[in-house]
Chains A and B, each alone.
Chain A
Amino acid sequence: MIWKSDIEQMEKEPLQELQSERLRSLLKYLSESNAIYRERLAEVSDISGVDIQSIDRLPFTTKEDMRDTYPFGLFSSPEKDILELHVSSGTTGNPTLVGYTKEDLDIWADAMARSLAVAGAKPADIIQIAYGYGLFTGGLGFHYGALEMGLRIIPTSSGQTRRQLKIMQDFQPRILACTPSYALYMADEARDLGLNTRESSWEIGIFGAEPWSDSIRKEIEEVWNITALDVYGLSEIIGPGVAQECPEKNGLHVYSDLFYPEVIDPDSGEQMPDGKPGELVLTTLTKRGIPLLRYRTRDIVTINHSRCGCGRTSPRISKVLGRTDDMIVVRGINVFPSQIEHVLMEIEGTQPHYQLVVDRQKNNMDSLEVLVEVEERFFSDEIKQLRAFQETVREAIQSTLGVGVKVRLMEPRSLERSQGKSKRVVDKRQFNQKEDQ
């Protein structure tokens, strides 16, 4: 089913009119309600003439803007109207805080209901929501959408794998929502228990919150005998529910009447044509609490404006092909190389060459290894001191990142360099393989 067929199947011109109308009321709202945007928009000439086709005349909003104005600088609603807050892990600086008004929670529920329908859910289906509930937007986002659609919800949250499996067997949910790595982890656990995974009650899996490749899709579909679909979102925009893959498996539908997508060259800011990779930029056309204008997601995608085989006209984005910066997601936690640099600076007062190696272990959990070159200036002639250094680095990184790491000491100049700098991140998890693109 198509949840909002009047909008999701709208022809281009009426859709653009709707988007332009919403954009103009957004600009008015921002100018009235937010000091930072008021200042920025004052510099835009002929602002009343801006429509959706000329959205590129408007300024960008960045992750740094959010951090710099933490906590409430980019909020446009009075604090008393913010009914729900979510916080995501940040670098050494401020975390990212997002807040939802009643209207925003309704938008979220609507977007997630559309996503569930895109994936093939229908009212009264049973859904097992194994995304974490809490500050992470995954669990609650799915929950609101499922309520909106009238699904029957089993809010298992993440973890307690054996109980997840027992619940699946006892209540026969048709839909599973969790991270792709957790779906694989559960399969390992199920095999250990002697279960036949192919007899699972799940028919549809909605997987997101971390990058995953088509080969992982095949693996999940094979082991659980389900259709595995990708969901895209980020808390700054709404959480999950920005875009959802349909069973055509040819891109993720963006609800462009709510979250207007552009794909740009991250350096020049120019619009990229369909099919060419660039940075995804999103404008929240209808949000009230913390509406964002041309938000730079730093996710690299391609966009496709053609009508989809499923009947929707909404534009589709590809799976995330990469990041404009080096951020990596390890076990659901954002890891920035700059955090590691910071820690090493703190310890040595100098920045050694280092490299992060992320890999996926046999149990499908991510591992993070930090390779640090032992340099002359902090070389110790005793193993005991080298070990102590290794342990100090490990503890400091672990407490900063909130994720377990292994530290490996390397010989000087042994790490791969490009243009004199060591390559910061090696991700061996095999995302974004050719087959994805």
Chain B
Amino acid sequence: MKQLHIFLENKPGRIERITAILAEAEINITAMTIQDTGEYGLFKVLLERPNEAQTILSEKGFACALKDVLAVRVADRPGELNRMVALLNSKGINIKDGHGFPRPNNESVFCAEVDDLAAVERVVSAAGYQLFEG
């Protein structure tokens, strides 16, 4: 799954500049998270038409990059996240940054930045998980 990472200074109004551009382009945002360092941060969004979104934001002068991230569908009930991360841990996979969001029908999506995504995707698929395709 492609996640768009956008560099932002930590100042009021910055995120709105991005959401306004995406709204204008009628691109739907599925999920988002913000990673902050105090002075600056990364605004990370899962959205429709990520390539188009990146092109538009680049043209508007934003420093942004598409990052392939792990996005896995898990059941929305106690213990499921634990089961997922335990699996990754058992294979020595480190989660660098992550977030999650609920979906209809008692389902959640777990998103994580990991090294060697293809191998990780094979691990979770082999364990019976389905990847989230947007």
Contact = CB atoms under 8 A, between A and B. Distances in A.
Contact of B42 (A383, A408, A410): A383
Given A409-B40, A411-B9, A384 B96 contact: yes
A333 to B, nearest CB: 25
B99 to A, nearest CB: 14
A399 interface: no
A202 B9 CA distance: 48
Interface in B55-69: 58, 61-67
A13 interface: no
Query: In which size bucket is the chain B interface?
Result: 20 to 34
Contact of B5 (A381, A408, A410, A412): A381
Nearest to B62: A412
B61 to A, nearest CB: 4
B8 interface: yes
Interface residues of A, number: 18
A342 B10 CA distance: 28
Interface string B28-62: 00000001010111100000000000000010011
A383 B67 contact: no
14 contacts: A376-B58, A376-B65, A380-B65, A381-B66, A382-B5, A383-B35, A383-B41, A383-B97, A386-B7, A408-B39, A409-B39, A411-B14, A411-B62, A412-B63
Interface string B9-21: 1000010000000
A171 interface: no
Contacts of B76: none
Which of B9, B39, B41, B63 has the most C-beta atoms of chain A within 10 angstroms of its own C-beta? B63
Interface in A412-429: 412-414
A376 B63 contact: yes
B67 A381 contact: yes
A374 B61 CA distance: 10
Contacts of B35: 383
